[in-house]
């Protein structure tokens, strides 16, 4: 798993990428020049304290790892947690987040 590292990479995805909404998060997709996906995870302080933000990032990473085969290849992908995700963090687990990601990816029409 390759990660987006600097602000330039994130800004490029935000400005030129395609955005999809879900109940708890947003996902941006931007075509890259590689044959694999690069990932970025954003959890602002509005989501909650450090414990909540780290848990959300772990949930995102694990959900991507378990569902990597259904993501389109060759994209920069940025997951952004919404504020309500931090409030619901005690009830959200990998299964719930996976279902939400799969439902969202069915709406994605990029290839």
User: pLDDT for 50-94, tens place per residue?
Assistant: 999 999 999 999 999 999 998 989 999 999 999 988 888 888 888
Say whether pTM exceeds 0.85: yes
Which of 23, 27, 92, 10 is CA-nearest to residue 56? 92
For residue range 9-65, what is the model confidence (pLDDT) as tens digits? 999 999 999 999 988 899 999 999 888 999 999 999 999 999 999 999 999 999 999
In this structure, what CATH number is given to the domain that contains residue 34?
A: 3.30.230.10
Both tokens assigned to 38: 């690069």
Closest CA to 24 of 70, 72, 65, 59: 59
Which residue range forms the structural domain that includes residue 15? 2-107
Q: Edge-to-edge, what's the strand order for the sheet holding 75-81?
A: 2-3, 38-42, 75-81, 25-31, 18-21
Domain count, the chain: 1
Task: Answer whether 21's CB lies under 8 Å from 105's CB.
Answer: no
Dist CA 98 CA 107 (whole Å): 15
């Amino acid at each position: 798993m390759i990660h987006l590292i600097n602000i330039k990479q994130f800004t490029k995805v935000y400005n030129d990428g395609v955005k999809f909404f879900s109940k708890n998060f947003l996902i941006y997709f931007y075509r890259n020049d590689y044959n694999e996906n690069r990932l970025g995870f954003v959890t602002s302080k509005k989501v909650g304290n450090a414990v909540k933000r780290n848990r959300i990032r772990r949930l995102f990473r694990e959900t991507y790892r378990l569902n990597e085969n259904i993501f389109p290849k060759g994209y920069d992908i940025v997951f952004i947690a919404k504020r309500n995700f931090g409030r619901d963090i005690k009830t959200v687990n990998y299964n719930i987040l996976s279902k939400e990601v799969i439902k969202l990816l069915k709406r994605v029409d990029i290839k």
